[in-house]
Amino acid sequence: MPAVFRDAIASALPSADGVRARLLDLPGVAVQALAEYFSARLPEVDVLVALPGAEALAAATASLRGTYLAPFDPVLGLHDLPDMRDVRGRPSAALLTPELTDGSAELQALLHAEHLGWRVQALAAAVERTNGLGRARLEFQGVPLLVPVLLADTPGGLVFERRIPQPE
């Protein structure tokens, strides 16, 4: 896990709002470290889909991989992603999101991409709130998750998850 990214998140704990704000305004070195982490671990895909808040991260990851980048807008959907329903050999995609909580936005993007004929191979989230339903929602869809930082909700606020090992 990129230490510079973990340190950036640690400085915003225990506030959930602080973590959310930090994810939307990460220092460039943290974005680059996270992009390198995802670039090395994501499967080969044809397109990276950036959910709101993950645009800079997705752009940096796409640049490292030489992959096409498509923004996802909850209202407009994947307006830049071509309809591939009639193409043989379905192309593949990976979703990038800043924070996985309940998974509803990620599930919406996944279903929209699959409706257009894309096969979603993975979801990369900068952080996961382990108390949320996001992991279960996406794993039921058969989508592997790649998350370098796991956070738990406690009565005192967010803390690094201790119940399960942190990803490498």
Q: What is the pLDDT of residues 31-59, one digit of tens each?
A: 999 999 999 999 999 999 999 999 999 99
Q: Domain tally for the chain? A: 1
Q: Does residue 42 lie within any of the structural domains?
A: yes
Angle between helices 16-24 and 3-10 (to 10 degrees): 130
Assess whether pLDDT exceeds 70 at residue 125: yes
Residue 107, pLDDT score:
95
Give the CATH number, domain containing residue 51.
Answer: 3.40.50.2020
At residue 86 the predicted structure's pLDDT band, cuts being 50, 70 and 90, is: confident
Percent of the chain with pLDDT over 90: 79
Q: Does residue 29 lie within any of the structural domains?
A: yes
Q: Does residue 48 lie within any of the structural domains?
A: yes
Give the tokens for residue 51.
């959910």
Assess whether pLDDT exceeds 70 at residue 166: no
Beta pairing partners, 150: 128
Q: Does residue 168 lie within any of the structural domains?
A: no
Q: Does residue 51 lie within any of the structural domains?
A: yes
